[in-house]
Chains A and B, each alone.
Chain A
Amino acid sequence: MGGNDAGARAADARPGERVVGIVLVSHSAAVAASVAELALGLAAGGAPAPIAAAGGTEGGGLGTSSELISVAAARVDRGAGVAVLTDLGSAVLTVKALLAEGDELPEATRLVDAPFVEGAIAALVTASTGADLDAVATAATEAYDYRKV
């Protein structure tokens, strides 16, 4: 499945190297996995930073799972911070609640305010250059400014 594929890419990516990891949280497993796959495809050219999808509930339904988010964040953590991008509603609120817990996510995990698809691509491309968490978050947030019309 796409979700497992994105998870495997996360586990393999740049072991031992201090690079920012990316977690994509959507209400849908398919959306999270597909956006991860799209970002990986567009970031091609060098070794991509680790990215993991945390979509849907553990039972495979639509919704948000705090467990899947925690697991995904641990998977992509290479010690340089983790940027979390979400779609909406419970995805946003669950990540905020986990951050408030203090010990559920790796140190220097940040919820980044960014459009989900464009932000994911900007975040992964930037993280893959070895940029720090501030730069990754800024790049993802700036994706809001790419007007289409």
Chain B
Amino acid sequence: MLDSEFFRRWMSATAVSVDREAASLTALDSPIGDADHGSNMQRGFLAVVTTLDKEPPAAPGAVLVLAGRQLISTVGGASGPLYGTLLRRTGKALGDADEVSEADLAAALRTGVDAVATLGGAAPGDKTMLDALLPAVDALGDGGSFAAARAAADAGAEATTPMLARKGRASYLGERSIGHQDPGATSSALLIAALADAAGSGASGE
């Protein structure tokens, strides 16, 4: 079973890796975006960790709802409402139980990912964060492991490189968006990797 401490570890691990990868996320965002994804995510997750440290919620769902709210109010770019919605909806789907099972988390995460798809109006193959998140929730479903979800998210992020962007600023570039890995899919893979790290089931760091 997973308690609120696990979910705080997940958010902390995400903050650490987003901080470490901020420059490379921004580098990915330079050719096809507005070159602020790394710094935006860094600012958002710093606010998440600061808030969770100050007033740690007792329930797993509440950890994610609070984290999502911080992202919406601090990120400043489209990744704020998108990641904020992902975490808030996942947290709401978990309800107010003190502990949740891995199956509960898998189901809740799928609810959160579906909410992101609805908010952004994107479909698989549009070169967005969904291309990392959907394979991850598929891998996590049916009793899959966090390590499998991590591998699926990484593969999904890499698979965005040859795609043509159909959403966001990159979509204005048309054919020129091809050949660059999507920054949002890349940061989504970091979020799933941090989940595996929090569970101790993935190779950490690197």
Contacts and interface: CB of A to CB of B under 8 A. Distances in A.
Interface of A: 57, 61-67, 89-90, 93-94, 96-98, 100-101
Given A90-B80, A93-B80, 6 more contacts: A61-B76, A65-B76, A89-B78, A93-B120, A94-B72, A100-B119
Name the 4 nearest CB pairs between A and B, nearest first: A63-B76, A97-B81, A93-B81, A90-B78
A100 B34 CA distance: 26
A67 B73 contact: yes
A104 to B, nearest CB: 9
* Secondary structure dominating the interface of B: helix
A89 B169 contact: yes
* Secondary structure dominating the interface of A: helix
A96 B81 CA distance: 8
Interface string B30-58: 00001010001000000000000000000
Contacts of B40: 63
Contacts of B85: 97, 100
B80 A64 contact: yes
Contact of B72 (A57, A89, A98): A98
B168 interface: yes
B78 A93 contact: yes
